[in-house]
Structures are given as C-alpha cells and as structure tokens.
Amino acid sequence: MIGPDGNQLGIKPLPEALGLARELELDLVEVADKATPPVCRIMDYGKYRYEAAQKAKESRRKSTNVVVKEMKYRPKIGHGDFDTKTKKVEKFLGEGHKVKVTIMFRGREMQHPELGRRILDQVATHVGHVGRVEIFPKQDGRNMTMVLAPDKKAQAAAAADKKKSEEEQRKSRAAADAVSVNGADRGAEIVVEVPADEPA
C-alpha cells in the first residue's frame, strides 16, 4: 500500500487499508492489479481524474492536425490552368497543409510518363519557396503522384527576400522622387529674356 505522500506503508489487509483511507477522507485506488499482492494507493481520485483530463487536453492542443490536400493535373494541361492550380498548391503549403499532386493519365497518355514527371518537376520548382518534396513522384496505376510538405526555412527565406526587395524598391522610389523634385525646382528658376524691340 502507498500513502497519499508517495511513501510505502507496507502490506495491509483490505479492511485496515480502507479504514486508513476513510480517516484521511481520501479514496483507496488499486494502481497495479497484476502485482502480487496488488498495489493500492490512498489518493483523491476526483483530483487525479481531473489532472489526467487536463494533461490529455494539453497534449491534444499541442499536437498539430495535418491535412493533406490534393491537386489534380492532366499531362496536356494549358498554361493558364497550370498557373491557377499551382497558385492554389502554393496557398495550401503557405497555410501549413501537405499537398498531394496527382497527374491523371488517360488512354495512350500512359505511354508517356515523362510528360507527367515534367509537370510534377515544374510544380515542385514553382512552389520551392514555400514547400519541399516529401514523397518523390511515383507511378500508381493510371496516376502519378507526388507529396509536397510545407518548408518553414524556405518560407522564412522567401519572406526575408521579399522584405529586402520591398525595402530596395522603397529606397529607389524615394531617390527618384528626390531627383524629380530637384529638377522641378531648377526648371522653375529658368527665365527667358525677350528683347524689347522684338514682339514676344
């Protein structure tokens, strides 16, 4: 038997153990029924259950719920459709989702898997600043699939590059504005003198 403070109280008969628990106004809980003799502990069972529920809730809150989105392409996809779908893939990766990219083959297209591979490589290149290839392209029946995962390092680097380029653009605009203002001032100072004997 184990006391409420965690100390061993030795082997006690059940009536005596129950009596000790009642004196302390606590519960007698069997914690190891397979042991010989079984191990019991004096504790506040309601408090124990509450703390266990809180720990479980905290661990659920810390775990991330990863959703796998899917985007389907065809081997003969047009430029406009490719750009639209790839922007959507980029958005999903930016939101922290994994993306399964599927190339769907029909009929004789199955004879040219390199077309699907080329599209998958293009998608991976276009979204390289927000994601990375987690599962490389593989043929699965009439489909070829690849899984992309968000890449926090690449996203941070892309954000830093974007901020740097915006700062450079702001500086160049400020310099251009300063030049145009100075030029306007000089233009205002130009005076044209017309001789009095000639008509203006």
Query: What does the pLDDT look like over 52-106, one tens digit per residue?
Result: 999 888 887 776 666 789 999 999 899 999 999 999 999 998 888 899 999 999 9
In a domain, 89, yes or no: yes
The C-alpha atoms of residue 154 and residue 93 are separated, in whole angstroms, by 11
Q: According to the model, what pLDDT value does residue 200 have?
A: 47
Domain total of the chain: 2
In a domain, 34, yes or no: yes
Q: Which two tokens stand for residue 190?
A: 């130009």
Range(s) of the domain holding residue 83: 68-153
Q: According to the model, what pLDDT value does residue 194 have?
A: 59
Flag whether pLDDT at 180 surpasses 90.
no
Task: Clarify whether residues 79 and 142 are in a common domain.
Answer: yes
φ, ψ of residue 188 in degrees (nearest 5):
-70, -25
In a domain, 9, yes or no: no
What amino acid occupies position 181?
V
Task: Clarify whether residues 87 and 110 are in a common domain.
Answer: yes
- Kindly report the CATH number assigned to the domain that includes residue 52: 3.10.20.80
φ, ψ of residue 71 in degrees (nearest 5):
-125, 130
Q: Which sign, positive or negative, has the C-alpha torsion 81, 85, 88, 94?
A: negative
Task: Clarify whether residues 51 and 106 are in a common domain.
Answer: no
In a domain, 143, yes or no: yes
What value, to the nearest 5°, has the Cα angle with vertex 55 and ends 54 and 58? 85
| Secondary structure element (H or E) that encloses residue 68, with its range | strand 68-73
Task: Clarify whether residues 126 and 79 are in a common domain.
Answer: yes
**167, exposed or middle or buried, with CB in 10 Å at 0-12, 13-18, 19+?**
exposed
Task: Clarify whether residues 86 and 121 are in a common domain.
Answer: yes
Higher pLDDT pick, 159 / 134: 134
What amino acid occupies position 149?
A
Q: According to the model, what pLDDT value does residue 60 have?
A: 78
Q: According to the model, what pLDDT value does residue 191 have?
A: 52
pTM of the predicted protein model = 0.50
Report which DSSP code applies to 132.
E
Q: Which sign, positive or negative, has the C-alpha torsion 130, 136, 137, 141?
A: negative
In a domain, 198, yes or no: no
In a domain, 183, yes or no: no
pLDDT tens, 139-173?
Answer: 888 899 999 998 888 777 777 877 888 888 888 88
Task: Clarify whether residues 73 and 144 are in a common domain.
Answer: yes
Chain centroid, CA 144 distance in Å: 25
Name the one residue in this structure whose structure tokens are 């959703």. 67
Name the one residue in this structure whose structure tokens are 């968000």. 150
Task: Clarify whether residues 45 and 89 are in a common domain.
Answer: no
**Residue 196 binned pLDDT confidence (cut-offs 50, 70, 90):** low
